Chain A
Amino acid sequence: MKSQTYITIPMYNDEKMILNVIKDLNKAGYHNIVVVDDGSKDNGYEVVKKNTDAIITRHIINRGQGAALQTGMEVAIDRGAKYIVHFDSDGQHDVKDLDHMLETLIKGKYDIVLGSRFIQENKIPLKKRIILRLGIIFTFLLSQIWLTDVHNGLRVMTAQTAKKLDLQHDRMEHASEILDKVKSLNLKYKEVPVTIHYTDYSQAKGQKISNSINIAIKLISSKLKN
Chain B
Amino acid sequence: MTIQYIASGIIAIILIQLIIRVIKDRTQFFKLLFWGIFWGIALVFIWLPTNTIDKVGKLFGVGRGIDVLVYLSIIFLFYYIFRQSEKINKLEKQITKLVREIAKENAKK
| Contacts from A to B (Cβ < 8 Å) | 34, 36, 55-61, 63, 67, 70-71, 74-75, 78, 168, 170
In the complex, B27 has a CB within 8 A of chain A: no
Chain B 5-50 residues near chain A, CB threshold 8 A: none
Residue of B nearest to A39 (CB): B99
Interface hub of B99, B102, B103 (most chain A Cβ within 10 A): B103
**Interface of B: prevailing SS:** helix
> Do residues B95 and A63 form an inter-chain contact, with CB atoms below 8 A?
yes
Residues of chain B contacted by A59 (CB below 8 angstroms): 99-100, 103
In the complex, B84 has a CB within 8 A of chain A: no
Q: Mark B68-107, 1 if CB is under 8 A from A, else 0.
A: 0000000000000000000000001101100110111011
| Bound-state Cα–Cα, A70 to B99, Å | 12
7 nearest A-B residue pairs (beta carbon): A57-B107, A57-B103, A75-B107, A57-B106, A71-B100, A59-B99, A67-B96
Q: A63-B99, A67-B100, A70-B100 are in contact. Are A170 and B92 (CB under 8 A)?
A: yes
Residue of B nearest to A75 (CB): B107
Residues of chain B contacted by A61 (CB below 8 angstroms): 95, 99
| Bound-state Cα–Cα, A63 to B91, Å | 12
Interface hub of B95, B104, B106 (most chain A Cβ within 10 A): B106
Partner of B104, one of A63, A67, A74, A170: A74
| Bound-state Cα–Cα, A36 to B102, Å | 12
Residues of chain B contacted by A58 (CB below 8 angstroms): 103, 106
> Do residues A57 and B104 form an inter-chain contact, with CB atoms below 8 A?
yes
| Bound-state Cα–Cα, A105 to B107, Å | 28
> Do residues B96 and A63 form an inter-chain contact, with CB atoms below 8 A?
yes
> Do residues B100 and A74 form an inter-chain contact, with CB atoms below 8 A?
yes
| Bound-state Cα–Cα, A75 to B101, Å | 10
Query: Whole-angstrom distance from the CB of A69 to the nearest CB of chain B?
Result: 11
Known contacts A61-B99, A63-B100, A67-B96; can you find 7 more A-B pairs with CB under 8 A? A55-B107, A57-B104, A57-B107, A67-B100, A78-B107, A168-B93, A170-B96
Residue of A nearest to B109 (CB): A57
Partner of B103, one of A71, A168, A170: A71
> Do residues B104 and A75 form an inter-chain contact, with CB atoms below 8 A?
yes
| Bound-state Cα–Cα, A57 to B102, Å | 9
Residues of chain B contacted by A78 (CB below 8 angstroms): 104, 107
> Do residues B100 and A34 form an inter-chain contact, with CB atoms below 8 A?
no
| Bound-state Cα–Cα, A127 to B46, Å | 55
Residue of B nearest to A74 (CB): B104
Query: Whole-angstrom distance from the CB of B82 to the nearest CB of chain A?
Result: 11
Residues of chain A contacted by B95 (CB below 8 angstroms): 61, 63
| Bound-state Cα–Cα, A60 to B43, Å | 48
| Bound-state Cα–Cα, A24 to B107, Å | 22
Residues of chain A contacted by B106 (CB below 8 angstroms): 57-58
Can you list 24 contacts pairing A with B, beta carbon distance less than 8 Å? A34-B107, A36-B103, A55-B107, A57-B104, A58-B103, A59-B99, A59-B100, A59-B103, A60-B99, A60-B103, A61-B95, A61-B99, A63-B95, A63-B96, A63-B100, A67-B96, A67-B99, A67-B100, A70-B100, A71-B100, A71-B103, A78-B104, A168-B93, A170-B96
